[in-house]
Structure 1
Amino acid sequence: MATLGTIISWIVFGLVIGLIARMLYPGRQSMGFFATMLLGIAGSLVGGFISWAMGFRPEEGAFRGAGWIMSIVGALIVVWLGLAASTRGSAGRLT
């Protein structure tokens, strides 16, 4: 039962972080419910990696997701990278 609770908490946390990141990032991002949730989860992992790389290790040897602030920062980075990749991919096409 603890595993199901962990999965549900990651889903809810990812959705909240994704919504906050989308509100903070300027411009329009066309994402649905599921993509926003995945954005928040990916942002938490990116934020966790950034804080781990900066030397913040709550448990030595264990990689964990970040807290609220670093998760939002990570989600903003993910949005920026996603929009940059989609813009770069469509720049070479002839319409």
Structure 2
Amino acid sequence: MGIIGWIVLGLIVGAIAKAIMPGKDPGGILVTMLLGVVGAFIGGLIGNWVFGVGIDRFWSLSTWLLAIAGSVIVLGVYRVIVGRKAVQR
């Protein structure tokens, strides 16, 4: 899958991750979608290491599930890190 495919997939799964984990995000929907791009990449790496299946086809169910899982993980980590900084102020 090309770079454009990764970006489109990441933007979509970023929005899906936001729907799965509702709440206030520091940075808004744009940051959430960018985190989705990073999450899709992380999901692909985890899927390749653990299951031997990466994010190689846009319309594959495993691609979408791995990308969504990666995006939820990245969004959760982002909320913990940025939320902790906001409380310390």
- TM-score, normalized by length of structure 1? 0.70
CA contact (8 A) 1:47 1:73 kept: yes
AA aligned opposite 1:85: I
Q: How many angstroms apart in 2 are the aligned matches of 1:22 and 1:81?
A: 13
Greater percentage in helix: 2
Residue-by-residue CA offset, 1:20-58 (whole Å, 9 max, x unaligned): 11111132224243x233222111111122222314156
Structure 2: gaps of 5 or more residues: 57-61
Higher relative contact order (CA 8 A, sep 6+): 2
Structure number with larger C-alpha Rg: 1
Q: Percent identity?
A: 34
- Aligned twin of 1:54: 50
What root-mean-square deviation, in Å, do the aligned CA atoms of Structure 1 and Structure 2 show?
A: 2.4
**How many pairs are equivalent?**
83
CA contact (8 A) 1:11 1:37 kept: no
AA aligned opposite 1:31: G
